[in-house]
């Protein structure tokens, strides 16, 4: 029998990854808290489109609103739960799905930031795994529709990296790798924390900047052209309009993950006596833009002073 899979938080990454699992005939239940999104998925399915290289497709899905999640008690338990919410929603998402896990079931953090410890605080470290989606560049552009603005990684770039918190290569790590590989290239890693930090470093450089300036992830077109002419290109370039996740959040009026990205760097630095002043200032600026105290403006970065 196939594993029963749950996607908790059907945003860009959860929707994109889960839709490919459904297309491969895996047993997937989608749980989300945006009523219009759940309604659209239930009525018309989940649509996946790409900037280039892939044909669009739509899959019929089993979608539940949070208020309907209690129906899981009448079904077979969940073997694998992917938590794909924003970092600030991790704790309640883990609490929600914990009660519906099979005895051997476990939870995978398929998120930005470092959320494995939060999940383990609910389900235990033995039921916690991680999966990084590297340079996936997806967005939930409207209810029931996920668009990938970047190009697929394929052989040139391994997108999904999945592993155990203790670094041992296990059968279930290979199972998660198999599931996410329906969507793009994947590997099992014995260095989950190294992969997490690599992703976090990249995110801290782009996400907050996009959020407070209003610029897309690709940056200034003229400068980018010069860079492209000088670099050794491995893969095609994605859409110039594709924004990092926090840039998307700001456009939608949503709370960002700035405290869990750049803020995390600040807190980790404090523990070892290192002041991460640039990250600290960026957190302050992004929070002010979130609250409407500042407008998005590239000058927040170009005129940034740390003193």
More confidently predicted of 227 and 179: 179
* Rounded average pLDDT over 113-133: 98
Q: Which of 151, 153, 29, 163 is nearest to 96 (CA)?
A: 29
Model confidence band, residue 270 (pLDDT cutoffs 50, 70, 90) = very high
| CB-CB neighbours of 245 under 10 Å | 26
Per-residue model confidence (pLDDT) at position 232 = 42
**Would the pLDDT of 245 be above 70?**
yes
**Would the pLDDT of 239 be above 90?**
no
Q: Which of 92, 94, 99 is nearest to 70 (CA)?
A: 99
Per-residue model confidence (pLDDT) at position 11 = 97
Q: Which of 143, 89, 96, 144 is nearest to 111 (CA)?
A: 89
SS3 state of residue 199: helix
Model confidence band, residue 72 (pLDDT cutoffs 50, 70, 90) = very high
Average pLDDT, rounded, for the chain: 92
Q: Which of 215, 216, 173 is nearest to 195 (CA)?
A: 173
How far is residue 238's CA from residue 249's CA, in Å, rounded to a whole number?
Answer: 19
Bridge pairing between strands 4-8 and 57-59:
unpaired
**Would the pLDDT of 21 be above 50?**
yes
Residues 6+ apart with CB under 8 A from 222: none
Per-residue model confidence (pLDDT) at position 92 = 98
SS3 state of residue 295: coil
How far is residue 158's CA from residue 192's CA, in Å, rounded to a whole number?
Answer: 14
pLDDT digits (tens, 9 = 90+) for 206-233: 899 999 998 886 666 676 677 566 554 5
* Rounded average pLDDT over 280-306: 92
């Amino acid at each position: 029998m196939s594993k029963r899979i749950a996607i908790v938080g059907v945003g860009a990454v959860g929707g994109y990854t889960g839709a490919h699992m459904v297309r491969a005939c895996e047993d997937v239940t989608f749980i989300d808290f945006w009523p219009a999104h759940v309604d659209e998925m239930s009525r018309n399915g989940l649509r996946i489109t790409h900037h280039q290289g892939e044909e669009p497709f739509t899959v019929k899905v089993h979608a539940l609103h949070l208020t309907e999640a209690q129906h899981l008690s009448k079904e077979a338990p969940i073997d694998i739960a992917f938590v794909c919410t924003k970092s600030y929603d991790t704790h309640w998402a883990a609490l929600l799905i914990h009660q519906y896990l099979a005895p051997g079931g476990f939870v995978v953090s398929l998120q930005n930031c470092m959320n494995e410890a939060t999940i383990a605080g609910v389900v235990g470290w033995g039921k916690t795994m991680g999966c990084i989606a590297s340079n996936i560049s997806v967005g939930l552009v409207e209810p029931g529709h996920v668009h990938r603005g970047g190009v697929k990684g394929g052989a040139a770039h391994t997108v999904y990296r999945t592993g155990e918190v203790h670094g041992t290569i296990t059968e279930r790590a290979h199972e998660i790798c198999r599931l996410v590989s329906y969507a793009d290239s994947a590997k099992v890693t014995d260095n989950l924390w190294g992969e997490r930090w690599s992703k976090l470093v990249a995110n801290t450089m782009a996400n907050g900047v996009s959020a407070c300036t209003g610029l897309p992830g690709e940056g200034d077109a003229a400068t980018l052209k010069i860079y492209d002419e000088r670099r050794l290109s491995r893969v095609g370039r994605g859409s110039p309009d594709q924004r990092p996740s926090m840039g998307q959040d700001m456009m939608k009026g949503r709370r960002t993950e700035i405290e869990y990205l750049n803020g995390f760097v600040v807190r980790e630095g404090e523990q070892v006596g290192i002041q991460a002043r640039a990250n600290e200032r960026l957190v302050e600026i992004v929070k002010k833009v979130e609250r409407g105290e500042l407008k998005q403006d590239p000058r927040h970065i170009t005129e940034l002073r740390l003193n």
